[in-house]
Structure formats: structure tokens, C-alpha cells
Chains A and B, each alone.
Chain A
């Protein structure tokens, strides 16, 4: 048995850091974990997706319907990856959009966030204003940690909250521990299931 998690967002949001914190936490919990990252080409403003299996698995990529949890750092990017979900999946969505340049340069439209969330209503959707919470915690840079706070509350997520916090401390510069742990707690408390 394994739990499949997909993290999707925009380069610069700290998607890679967040997912490797979870990986480290899995290791600390004595669980097996395999995770696939994207690297290369420009690093900010493009799509970033990482896929992870925690538990008995070898495959670094998830098939359709294999994501038990989707951690969407940005509404459109959460939607784009939904085909990996199954009807019982949890989808965590940060509701603050990052509008891509194709909107002003190519006349594409960015859908209404309410419509995006509404379309997902058959799934277990958990939405939060993660970017805004991070600003309140002290810096927008902590948006990824707010998302981890929310993730810690998801019932099928197999790692304990305290261990996740320990992995955050192991990864992030001690100077910013306080701010990040605050952001984590804000994410955790912001959702109710």
C-alpha cells in the first residue's frame, strides 16, 4: 500500500522545497518514499510538479487516478493536474492566482477561482488563502509552508504533524524557523474537515 501525492504550482513558490520536506519527514517516520522532481529551463514563473509515493512503491511517477492528495499551490495548476486524482482524493487549493503572461500576451483568459473550486466539488476540496496567510506570518515566501500545514491535517496523509515540523526545521535556515512554524500552524488551523 502506498499514498500518492502530487504537488503542483508555479516556479518560485517553493514546491520542490515543500515536497522534499515531506520526503524527509517520511524517512524520519521510517517509511519508504520515492519522489520525482522537475528541473531545468527557467526556474520561475513556469509550471512545477512533483509526484510522490509514500509506502511500498518503486514508481517515481503516478498513473491516472493514483494521487490520493493533490497539493495545489495555485488554482489553475491544481486544476491542470486533476486527472491524476480519483473520486475520493483530497485537493488542497491555495486560492490566490498567479496570472501567467499568456493572459496579457496571447489573450488567454484566467478562469474564475470560484468556478475552478466549484468544478471540483465532487472531490474533497480544501481551500485556503495560503499566500495571504504567509504574508500575515511575515513573508510570502512561506506560502509553501502554509500549504504543508494544511497537508498535515488531511486524514489520509500518513505523517505526523510533529515530524513534519521537525523536517521543516531540518531544512530551513534557523533564522526563519519561527516565521515558518507560525506559517505552518496558520495553514494547519485555517482548514476544518
Chain B
């Protein structure tokens, strides 16, 4: 079984695990009985692993329709006395925020841990919000791990904290903790409690205004007690000694601090914080009183720094504090060892040798992320682009959404003009159709459609918007690593499941122009796009074709493989395939005779054959590989 190594009951065993795999291990050791998510990078692999191991570990796991639903199902499980864990990316917490805020008030019964995976530097996100502030506005205790081992160990601690105070705990991670592999030593596995019992208590669980008023006071009382614990918790520790420099840090930044301090042989002591809300004021007070200079190192917002300054001010501690607020550290993007060195140079007025090689500058062609070779979205965008060209429409507004298909923004398709967040393709399409006379086409993926676009589509129908809505149904949640969604006959436990038929669902709203096409049939798809664009009112196109990578994996497993090749005798070098379909596997090369020719890269071609179907000269042939 895949990920068998994550669930073996062998205390002391050491494995090379991804941070997200370590979280699953921690959950299993903690006896978590219930887990839910909506996939989002950098949290996705937690769900991918649970998909394989949940059943065997005796746990319930679901891919929920969106993060709000995920949080609600887990809250109910915890209210029933189970240990429950819900996880998503940082912006997923925005979607879940309404439910999130209330769970802090009503509290829990079994332990509940809410994992937020933040994405400094926005490797695959629309913003880099620092979700530690969610702990502050909700009043939830917060834990911030620094590495794979802590991902596992601190999940267990987080459940203990949650159960002790009957409060959910925010477990805040970042990309370079989620996506870092390290060696993790296993502990023992606790028994799973899979069945709970809900003891009714409307005066606690039904958040009417009268209840809320009381619960808010209770929450504030609890937080005072939690704060006492943060001052003494083993999650917050001091490393090293000396009375000159004290560095306060948390999360991934600690690793950079650790290595740089060691490399430079600095005589500094480090206050490594992991239980960071409520802020451990007493601990920090003692720490900053014991040194002459305080340096606060944290990615993104100056949360620790502001709290530290507050402690200094309220206790009349006169110490120099260096952080973001006085310009020593950046407030955007992820850190690395050089960021720490740059800051230390300024703070300590020293020069740190880097010994870096400086390559001669040459101009390198950029290689932005692009749709994979064989991607059905490429064929859909090609068809949409050709339909608009043939109808001579130049200013159509294209609203897009979140998924691999956002990459339709690139040349030559340029199929993306407006994007806000998950599901925004439809609400914004309605807005544009009501405020301009331009043609409006919205694109959404299947999983994103279920996640947040259905209310928008109902809005479009009810308010008589004039637009084309394209549902790119590639039978998976592709960008985050191919998780199932409600449109597929399998669930998070890997069991057969009833599925929602997208075409029926759209028709159920009352929309009658609904057409399903296979984008690899480029001719037909162009035709349907033209009809839809000419149609007055709402038209919905479902462009249905499995993600190329899934198809790929299946064929490789069966030992079937073929690619396409350009027959240079027939090719006129017209450039339709290379410049207009623009598959990532097709490239131009200057040959030894000085002529530029078009070729297909055999290592990248996925054998979809779309280039062959559009080639006007029949110059592209299939080649079967043994």
C-alpha cells in the first residue's frame, strides 16, 4: 500500500518524511478519529496521504466540498467527543472564517486542531496573508512548528492543549515546513476513538446572541489560563546562552537563525517559540531583560515583534529591539539564510563573507509554469481562441478561476482577464455582463465549480445575465495533486461514492443551453463555442476530458506508450502547432544547415494527438514506443 511507512506501529523508527506526511503520522499517533479538508497547496499532501491510509488507521476522512464545510463537519465530530483535524491552505481559512470564528466561542469537547498552511512568497497562492492573526481575532490558542519532526510531535501537543481547555487550536504552518522533507522519529500510536456521542447542550452549542455574550466572557477567561501555560510550555524554549544578543523566532525562520548563528559562531541565545498565542508575556519579559539587544525573526507580519515591543513598553524594559518595524527585516516573501545574514550585517555593523560564485550574466529564456503537454485545457483554450477569432470578437472579457487552467493567461491564448478567488469566475462574469456590452466568458474547473461557483451560477440565472460559462471538467482536482471531488464516484476513504452529475446540476438550476464537449475533438469544440457565444442569455459548456497526467499514469502502468512526431517531409513549418496550439512539448530549433524547424520533444510529449488533428498538412504522426 502507498504510504504504508506512515502508519507502521514501530516506535523509534526513522523515516524521511515530507512535513505534510509527518502531520498525518502525528494525527495517527494522537488517535485522531476524524479528518476533513479541501485541498490547497501547501496543505494538499496531508489529504493525499490520508486518502490512502485513513481507512487502515481506523479514521474517518473526507474531501469536503469546500473549507467551510470541512470545518463544520470537523467541529461537529469534535463536539461529539472525537479528536478531529481539519486542514487547508491559508486562503481556505477565509472561506471557513465564519464557522471558524464561532468554534472558538462554542469550544469543543474532543480535541480539535485546525491546520492553516500559509504560503509566504506565494508559490501557488493569490496572497501571502499571515494567518497567525486569525488566532488573535478568534481567540484561539496557536502552535507553530518549525520542521518535519515538530509537525508530528506538536500535532499531538495541540490535541492535548485543545482537550485541556476545550478550545480548538490553530496549527499554523508555512510552505517551507509543509514541503520540507526531514528525518522523523516515530512514537507510539494511540488507539483511535472513531465513535462519539453528542451530549446535547444548547446553552453552549447554539450560538444565539444570549449564548454568545456568555461564551465570549468564558473564552476570555480560558485565554488567561492558556497564557499561563504558554509561559511554561516545553513548546517554547531557550537555546544557548550569553547576555549580549537574544533572538526571538518561530516557525521556519528558526531554522535559518539556527544555521546562521552556528555558522558565524555568534554568542547569541535563541528563544524559540512554538506556542505563540496567547503570547507568552512573562517568558518574553524575562528573556528580553536578560540581554542587551533583541532581534525578532519571523516571516511575514511583525506579530512576535509587536507583542515583544508591548511587553518591553508595559514593563519599562529599556532594550534595543530589531525587527521589521524599524526596517531590519523584510515584511514580504519567505526568508532564507541570506535574509538573516543581511539583517545581522546591519544590526551588528559587520560584513559577512558569502563566498558565492558570480556567473557571467547571459540572457536566459524564461520558463514560466505552463499547462502540461497533453493538457485538455490547452485544447479548450485553443478552441475558444479560434472561435473568438472566427467571430472577430476582440474584446471579450474572460473571467477565470483557481486551478491549473489559470495558466490560460499565457500567450497565445490570453484567456484570463479577471480573477479574485475560488469561484469568482461566475460572480465577476455576472458583474461584467451587467455593466458592459462586451462578451463575457467565464472559465472554472470542476472542483472549483463545486467549491464556490454554484451560488454564483444561480445568481447568473436568476438575474438574467448574458454570458458563456465554461466548466473545465478534467475529472479531478488537478493542481493540488489529483484529489477526488463530489463529481467523481470515489470519496476520501477511497471507497465508491455517489457523484453529482454536473450537466444535470446545471440543468436543474433551469439553464437550458448546456453542452458537453470533448476538447480533444477540436473542430466540434470550436463549433460549440461559436454557438454559445452567439446565444443570448446564459450558455454553459462542459469541456470534459480527464487530466493528462492521470491518463498518462494509467497508460504507463499498463505499459502502453506512444508519442507524436513531425514528419519533416510534409511539415511546411507553418507554425500552427508551435505558435497557436503552443504545446510545451513542441519547440523550434535551428539545425546545422541553418534552417529553423519545428520538433516534438520525446521526453515531454504525452501522445494526446491534438497537434496532429489541427495540422493542416497531416504532418504529425503517431509513434508507438515499446
Contact = CB atoms under 8 A, between A and B. Distances in A.
Interface of A: 10-13, 20, 23-24, 26-27, 32-47, 57-66, 76-77, 79-80, 82-87, 89, 98-106, 108-111, 115-116, 119-120, 122-123, 131, 139-141, 143
B181 A40 contact: no
Contacts of B1: none
Contacts of A86: 355-357
B365 interface: yes
**Dominant secondary structure of chain B at its interface with chain A:** loop
A102 B365 CA distance: 7
Contacts of B336: 59, 61-63
A83 B365 contact: no
Interface string B326-367: 000000001011100100000000000011111110111111
A42 B372 contact: yes
Contacts of A123: 357
Nearest to A10: B367
A40 B479 contact: yes
A46 B367 CA distance: 6
B372 A39 contact: no
A79 B365 CA distance: 11
Interface string B571-585: 000010011001011
28 contacts: A11-B372, A12-B604, A23-B16, A26-B16, A27-B15, A33-B181, A34-B181, A34-B182, A37-B179, A39-B41, A39-B42, A40-B479, A42-B370, A44-B584, A46-B370, A58-B146, A61-B336, A65-B356, A79-B359, A86-B355, A100-B365, A102-B367, A104-B588, A106-B411, A108-B363, A115-B362, A116-B362, A141-B603
A11 B585 CA distance: 12
Given A12-B603, A140-B603, A35 B359 contact: no
B602 A140 contact: yes
Contact of B365 (A27, A59, A103, A119): A103
Contacts of A64: 338, 354, 356
A48 B259 CA distance: 25
A25 to B, nearest CB: 9
Contacts of B179: 36-39
A63 B188 CA distance: 37
Which 5 residue pairs are nearest across A and B when measured between Cβ atoms?
A40-B124, A65-B356, A63-B337, A45-B584, A46-B369
B56 interface: no
Nearest to A167: B16
Contacts, number: 217
Contact of B359 (A26, A83, A105, A111): A83
Contacts of A65: 354-357
Given A12-B604, A46-B367, A106-B366, 12 more contacts: A12-B603, A36-B181, A42-B375, A45-B370, A45-B373, A58-B147, A60-B182, A61-B337, A100-B587, A104-B578, A111-B362, A143-B603
A83 B180 contact: no
B91 to A, nearest CB: 13
Contacts of B356: 64-65, 83-86
B567 to A, nearest CB: 19
Contacts of B372: 11-12, 42-45
Interface stretch (B250-258, B381-389, B492-500): B250-258
A44 B373 contact: yes
Given A35-B180, A65-B355, A104-B587, A111 B16 contact: no
B403 to A, nearest CB: 10
B192 interface: no
Nearest to B547: A43
A85 B357 CA distance: 5
Given A98-B604, A119-B359, A140-B603, A47 B367 contact: yes
B167 to A, nearest CB: 31
B546 to A, nearest CB: 15
A76 B364 contact: yes
A79 to B, nearest CB: 6
Contacts of A76: 364-365, 367
B540 interface: no
A60 B365 contact: no
B404 interface: yes
Contact of A63 (B341, B364, B479): B341
B407 interface: yes
Interface in B373-407: 373, 375, 404, 407
A92 to B, nearest CB: 15
A41 B181 contact: no
A140 to B, nearest CB: 4
Contact of B182 (A33, A40, A109): A33
Contacts of B371: 42, 45
Contacts of B410: 105
Contact of B603 (A47, A82, A120, A131): A131
A27 B17 CA distance: 11
Contacts of A77: 367
